[in-house]
Structure 1
Amino acid sequence: MRDLRIVFMGTPDFAVTILKKLVENNYNIVGVITAPDKPAGRGRKLNESAVKKYAVNQGLKVLQPKNLKAESFTDELKDLKANLQIVVAFRMLPTVVWKMPEYGTFNLHASLLPEYRGAAPINWAIINGETKTGVTTFFIDDKIDTGEIILQKEIDIAPHEIVGELHDKLMVLGADLVVETVDLIASDKVKTKKQPELEEKSAPKLFPHNCKIDWFKPLDDIYNHIRGLNPYPAAWTTILNGEDEISAKIYGVSKQKENHNIEIGTILTTKKEIKVAAKDGFLIIDEIKISGKKKLDAVSLLNGFTFEEKARAL
């Protein structure tokens, strides 16, 4: 068996679960690389990454480079004498970093590569109505998410599953896959395969423009778009309510297939229900956050907010 000295690189909660699994399985983590602390909130207090908080609590050595190419950082990295690097939800690494360890640098990606390369694979799998996804470990190369595949595990996506739920399932599945991958590397039994040359579906970063709801799309597409962004970063729309234009984030929804002649985007309400007309039915809003208000269920919102007769989602 190889005597592994591991450097772990990651930042968000997703990465913490994987690091925790490695620590609990007594792997030798000689260093943790994570994002620099960032000022947040009104007081601009420095906010530590989820990975840093966990690593410090475990007494692990933490490095927080601003520049991954800086000689000061690469010298510190060399001093750790790692022979394997593991990357989970981190930045793109320069060649000098990913080529450093003897046994390579591998990444955990939350999709079945080559599909959904990019920053937001879990969101886009649901947005595009996929029924399956998974996790992949692969050795990093000089492009994004293109290296040779080590292992993959597949999981079903339930018809009403939201991205928050799928994220948590993939986090656990990914932790198991990383441990399997490390064990293969430790025993020198890795057999990789090249990624197929498919016209893969991509997973670009999420911005306000691609989180906005297009009410002219089919009802199923709108429904998938919203659950693929729930709870974060959340799908949004503009509501024209009388003379007011209001921004609203939409979370929990259900759908009602029905032929109708109501103008697309029209908002219909009762004392207990909010629904929006789409081309082949209605989207029923169960949970919504109107700008300046708390996130509320439909009944609670309707108790204190009135939609005008010709209110529309734009």
Structure 2
Amino acid sequence: MRIIFMGTPDFAVASLDALVQAGFEIVAVVTAPDKPAGRGQKLSESAVKKYATDHDLPVLQPVRLKDQTFLDQLRSYKADLQVVVAFRMLPVAVWDMPAKGTINLHASLLPAYRGAAPINWAVINGEKQTGVSTFFLQHEIDTGNLIFSESIPIGDNDTAGEVHDKLMVTGAKLLVKTVRAIEEGNYTETPQDEISGSTITHAPKIFKEDCLINWSCPVHQVYNHIRGLSPYPAAYTIFKDKTFKIFSADLSAEKPEKQPSEFLSDGKTFLKFACQDGWISVKDVQLEGKKRMSVEEFLRGFRISE
């Protein structure tokens, strides 16, 4: 089969590499346009573009997916199948082009956690397992017929970043299995509303207001919120009138004698915030205008008083 791959971040690179290593013919790669980044605002290439360039794969970087020039380019590759991993929402003119359709790898056990941030929301909500799913694209996002899925456990202390890395590996393997099955014609499609015991849930894009910690919540809920947003975009609170990001923490069910959001510290080794029914002891933090550091480093350079 002639395959066009579409993706942008590191998560997608693992899948692209798995397909290349498995011997599939990747005739072109579609990824995001280069973007200014850093203090110098130099143009930065996507992780997928860097991989494609290193492996001499043709790269397309459309600004608009409905642009006729791009559609003509895409059609010229005569792809049998398109594979999408962590890319943009595609118009019908794109996903309906190949004879064998367009498949997507999604980082959840569909129909649970449809949307842009499935890993974050699964951890935030305290789920004990998640997974990856492959499906054929249809009109509405993440609603297509399932091909395969595979689950993994979420540890009690796993961050979204750690779950991301596990799913990146699991997903790449599942994608190779899926493409091989399509090539051999050895697969079945299952409508998502026929998945036994499943519930449709959504995982919308994370905005800044979603990252603000509510210390009045139960301590386990606050803890899940912190690890579900770590390392990016990171949960935060307002501390000494500045944004204070928290990347990792410990929790204690000891009943606090302070009001939610009030804190205790010895000024040297610990800083903890009161929740509804326990304490969150921060470990890895970043104060607005400063670099990320351990709480011990932070306290050495910051005079603290209750």
Per the shorter chain, which TM-score range? over 0.9
**Residue 44 of structure 1: CA displacement?**
1.8
SS at match of 2:155: coil
CA–CA separation in structure 2 for the residues paired with 1:204 and 1:306: 39
**Residue 234 of structure 1: CA displacement?**
0.5
Is 1:235 the counterpart of 2:235? The answer is yes
Is 1:146 the counterpart of 2:172? The answer is no
CA–CA separation in structure 2 for the residues paired with 1:43 and 1:289: 23
Q: What pairs with 1:9-24 in structure 2 (closer than 5 Å)? A: 9-24=6-21
Poorly superposed stretches of 4+, deviation over 4 Å: none
Q: What pairs with 1:1-314 in structure 2 (closer than 5 Å)? A: 4-196=1-193, 199-239=199-239, 241=240, 245-270=241-266, 271-309=268-306
Q: Give TM-score, length-normalised by structure 2.
A: 0.97
Residues 295-304 or 167-176, more deviating: 295-304
SS at match of 2:111: coil
CA–CA separation in structure 2 for the residues paired with 1:260 and 1:132: 31
Question: In the alignment, residue 75 of structure 1 is paired with which amino acid?
Answer: D
Partner residue, 1:312? none
**Residue 260 of structure 1: CA displacement?**
3.1
Q: Give TM-score, length-normalised by structure 1.
A: 0.94
Q: CA RMSD in A?
A: 1.0
CA–CA separation in structure 2 for the residues paired with 1:304 and 1:44: 30
CA–CA separation in structure 2 for the residues paired with 1:42 and 1:295: 17
Contact 2:248-2:284 within 8 A present in 1 as well: yes
Contact 2:102-2:137 within 8 A present in 1 as well: yes
CA–CA separation in structure 2 for the residues paired with 1:201 and 1:281: 29
Question: In the alignment, residue 280 of structure 2 is paired with which amino acid?
Answer: L
Residues 219-228 or 188-197, more deviating: 188-197
**Residue 261 of structure 1: CA displacement?**
3.0
Question: In the alignment, residue 52 of structure 2 is paired with which amino acid?
Answer: A
**Residue 42 of structure 1: CA displacement?**
2.3
Question: In the alignment, residue 157 of structure 1 is paired with which amino acid?
Answer: I
SS at match of 1:118: coil
CA–CA separation in structure 2 for the residues paired with 1:227 and 1:41: 26
SS at match of 2:174: helix
CA–CA separation in structure 1 for the residues paired with 2:187 and 2:259: 58
Question: In the alignment, residue 206 of structure 2 is paired with which amino acid?
Answer: L
Structure 2 residues without counterparts, runs of 5 or longer: none
CA–CA separation in structure 1 for the residues paired with 2:229 and 2:172: 23
Contact 2:256-2:279 within 8 A present in 1 as well: no
CA–CA separation in structure 2 for the residues paired with 1:267 and 1:295: 20
**Residue 199 of structure 1: CA displacement?**
4.9
**Residue 131 of structure 1: CA displacement?**
0.2
Structure 1 residues without counterparts, runs of 5 or longer: 310-314
CA–CA separation in structure 1 for the residues paired with 2:136 and 2:93: 15
Question: In the alignment, residue 217 of structure 2 is paired with which amino acid?
Answer: K
Number of equivalences? 302
- Cα deviation, 1:102-142, whole Å, max 9, x if unaligned, reads 11100000000000000010011000000000000000000
